[in-house]
Amino acid sequence: QTHRFSGKVAVVTGAAGNIGLACAKRLAQSGAAVALLDMNADALKSAVADVAAHGVAARPYICDVTDIGAVRDTIAAVVADFGAIDFLFNNAGYQGAFAPVQDYPEDDFARVMDINVRGAFHVLRTVARHMIDRRFGRIVNTASMAGVQGPPNMAAYAASKFAIVGLTEVASKDLAPYNIRVNAISPAFMGPGMMWDRQVELQAKVGSQYFSTDPKEVAKQMIGSVPMRRYGNIDEIPGVVEFLLGEDSSYMTGVNLPIAGG
């Protein structure tokens, strides 16, 4: 077991969810102290216990990323508790409704943009200000393959993840003078788990020309579109995040790495 991140402090948002927790655990295994942010207090509690089991400092921060004041206070608390922030995995997100664009619910569109774009922006900006002072920072944003090619019935989600790819490119340029690298990952179909089950079920329910109305058939259709003919496992993400946060990617900034089975 390596401890390449000993002495480093990582902030992970959406840390109580599938991808956030898997990545928080990996960073802990590599020796980083981890500040876990999520708005789901119950799930956060068990997530922190999982991460602390790797023998590093781990603390929960209940925070809704859409609440600017809460983000500011939370990041200040993380800095007070841990002394500094080296890494940000900016990952909290919400998949939204499934409906053709002409029927897409407006309130849900706003909610998706609020969490996935505005929330991610505020976390990135707040943490970046701290990193600028230290002239060091490594940031990974969670985009999605839906932010590279828009899938049917996911207007808000795709728009929000295209925005994350853009935000990543801009932030990489604006923050490069301060020794802060900003990259993104774009998972595609990851399973098993809530997001996979939910999208299979809801794509079937929409009943579009693109997918069957039978969820089992939808799952086959989705997997059939993947060159590697399987969905990705959540455990196939943390190594990529660790690579982008660590110094093996020292000359990479502003890139969006697909984790998509081809």
* Residues designated as active site: 157
Of the candidates 152, 124, 136, 172, the residue with the CA atom closest to the CA atom of residue 218:
152
In whole angstroms, the minimum distance from the beta carbon of 195 to ligand NAD comes to 4
- x/- string (CB under 6 A) for ligand NAD, residues 108-147? -------x---x----------------------x-x---
By beta carbon distance, the residue nearest ligand NAD is 17
Out of 36, 65, 75, 140, which residue is the one contacting ligand NAD (CB under 6 A)? 65
Out of 5, 196, 256, 261, which residue is the one contacting ligand NAD (CB under 6 A)? 196
- x/- string (CB under 6 A) for ligand NAD, residues 35-64? ---xxx--x-------------------xx
Say if residues 15 and 24 touch (Cβ distance below 8 Å). yes
In the complex with ligand NAD, the residue whose CB is nearer, 233 or 247, is 233
In whole angstroms, the minimum distance from the beta carbon of 7 to ligand NAD comes to 27
